[in-house]
Structure 1
Amino acid sequence: MASPEGLRPLSPATGQFRCGIGPFKAMLRWVEWGPPDGMPVVCVHGLTRNGRDFDALAMRLAARGRRVICPDVFGRGNSDWLPDGKLYNVPTYALAFQAFLAHLPKPYDWVGTSMGGLIGMAVGAVPGISPRRIVLNDVGPFLPARALGRIAAYLALRHDFATLEEVETHLRLVHAAFGELPDAAWRHMAETSSRRTPEGRLVMHYDPAIAAPVLGAPVVDVDLWPVWRALGQPVLVIRGAESDLLDEATAAAMAAREATRLTVFPRCGHAPALIDADQTGAVADFLS
């Protein structure tokens, strides 16, 4: 996958950290780019995604001397699955990340897409571990029930595939709102979003139990404005112009806060993929 600034797409380094989750321990694993002594940026993905979604952004930030850490949240990618599906929720993730962030050199920045943005809001007001700056990619402190219902319907589906081409076709359909991506980006997504079962089939690279909290709860509006008001650092809010999760009214209310910048990208919904040069450039400039 070509870098926006011409950096060769070398394989990233990897890391892991064992986190406490209630009475359990689970390994958080990540890929990272850039110099080990660079100022860290933690990039956290959406509900069914993984840390490789940030490869293009990470290479751009690494070219500017940043150390970019892209975790797989528990139950996704290479991180451990949790023993109880009810543990797959933002408060659990935020508490687990606190131990990881306590060991991370300061200052650092946070980039969060959708669920990753909610985790960023949760840790953003915690003294001693809060990031210097936060990027919220198409998520905010009000989550409309209609968008959550769409997500719940998607999570209720079960898929397996015979070929990588079938995986790519599926991703192009369910993530069409990511916007107009080049063929190479969709193929990269298929390669990094699937795993092969012992039976030889391909499935999405996450624990099906991540759906448990979503499918087990009534679909209602979620109000997180008190969490938003607790943030003190500068925030970049990114919105896809056609997004159903971050609506125009919520984005405008967020932009009214001092030290908040709102950037809206056309021809995409939930959520901008942070792959093309305009999107990665907006993030890089805000964090520079």
Structure 2
Amino acid sequence: MIDQSITLAGKAGHEIAASVDGPELGLPVILAHGGGQTRRAWRAVAHRLASHGFRTIAVDMRGHGESAWASDGAYDISDFAADLVEIAAATASKPALIGASLGGLAGIIAEGKCAPGSFGSLTLVDVTPQMEPSGVARVVGFMAAHARDGFASVEEAAQVIADYLPHRPSRKASAGLAHYLRRKDDERFYWHWDPAFIERVTQQGGGVSSDHGRTELSAAAACLTLPVHLIRGGSSDLVSLEAVKHFQGLVPHMAYSDIANATHMVVGDENDAFGQSILEFLLGIHEAEMKS
């Protein structure tokens, strides 16, 4: 089966769009993207894992992509975490979870606080409890800048992204970018996620980088007993080496990979190296389960 679109139930039945790939009886791997992204970010990684026998489930987080928006503004980390717990509970066997940025933060809360034992392993992509406030502010600022007023064209959106990611080769607007935008009746293009999501983050003063956010995430991380893999972008401005050491103190058994030439956007910056790192960890941890 290849890249089949399905609808899953998150917290209180919240509709979550997903794509599945790989053998139906393969070990399930849930892929949770970062804020402002969609499940399309995982396409290459999902296909790689599926080709090695894993059953990948790439989700659109609530309020993103084709998943339902939260009419009540329920976009706290705990809401995203609860969705992941519900999705995990519906899989045939205990799944591995790979979470980038927002997805990783939700994974820490889901496994470390909400429902310990829900996952077989946890891979965190450039996210720890101690996020750099300046890096968080840069990401939030980028997302908030055009959340409500959108863009006059896909080309304008492409230029905004190029300015935000100057380290990447300049690209013209592509068909792929169009999947991250919605054209409304006013003929303008808007991000494929609910503006209320980023507004909730700004109301919380940056959320994860606030003192409360750091304390809650650190407490949850200290409770993680499952295999954990932290993947950091070598040039990340959100996860410093000091933050890595802090996380190692909370989770001494964790595995660690540093992807050279990658920023916080590890998946897009160095997809091949990232995918290989993911694959090696999962095969090493779950080899016995995959043979049973």
TM over 0.5: same fold? yes
3-state SS of paired residue (2:82):
helix
Structure 1 residue runs without a partner (length 5+): 1-9
Structure 2 residue ranges without an equivalent (≥5): 284-292
Deviation at 1:115, TM superposition (A): 0.6
Query: Shift of residue 93 of structure 1?
Result: 1.4
Structure with the largest fraction of helix: 2
The answer for the alignment partner of 1:6 in structure 2 is none
Percent identity reads: 24
Q: How large is the RMSD of aligned CA atoms in angstroms?
A: 2.4
Q: Is the 8 Å Cα contact of residues 102 and 129 (structure 1) preserved in structure 2? A: no
- 1:30-74, CA deviations, whole angstroms, 9 ceiling, x for partnerless residues? 112112221110000111111110001001001101111111111
Return the offset for 1:285: 0.8
2:188 aligns with: 201
Report the TM-score when normalising by structure 2.
Answer: 0.84
Structure 2 letter corresponding to 1:82: A
Instruction: Give 2:4's match in structure 1, choosing from 7, 10, 13.
Output: 13
Say whether residues 1:268 and 2:262 are aligned partners.
yes
Residue equivalent to 1:4: none
Q: Which runs of 4 or more aligned residues in structure 1 lie more than 6 Å from their structure 2 counterparts after TM superposition?
A: none
- Indicate yes or no: 2:138 matched with 1:150: yes
CA distance in 2, matches of 1:73, 1:84: 16
Q: Partner residue of 1:74?
A: 62
Aligned residues: 272
Per-residue CA deviations over 1:157-193 (Å, capped at 9, x if unaligned) read 12533443333333233345xx647969x84651321
How far apart are 1:232 and its partner, in Å? 0.6
1:243 aligns with 2:230: no
Question: Does the 8 A contact of 2:32 with 2:61 survive in 1?
Answer: yes
Kept in 2, the 8 Å contact 1:180–1:267? The answer is no
Hey, what does 2:20 align to over in structure 1? Answer: 32
* Distance (whole Å) between structure 1 residues aligned to residue 119 and residue 170 of structure 2: 32
Tell me which amino acid in the other structure corresponds to 1:54: W
Deviations 1:11-43, CA, capped at 9 Å, x for gaps: 62011123344xxx5211111211222111000
Equivalent position amino acid for 1:196 in 2? R
Deviation at 1:151, TM superposition (A): 2.8
Which residues of 2 match residues 162-177 of structure 1 at below 5 A? Answer: 162-176=152-166
Provide the rounded CA distance (Å) in 2 between the counterparts of 1:130 and 1:72: 19
Inter-partner Cα distance in structure 1 for 2:18 and 2:170: 25
Give the letter aligned to residue 260 of structure 1. M
More strand by share: 1
Mapped pair 1:51 → 2:46: no
Aligned residue type for 1:249: E
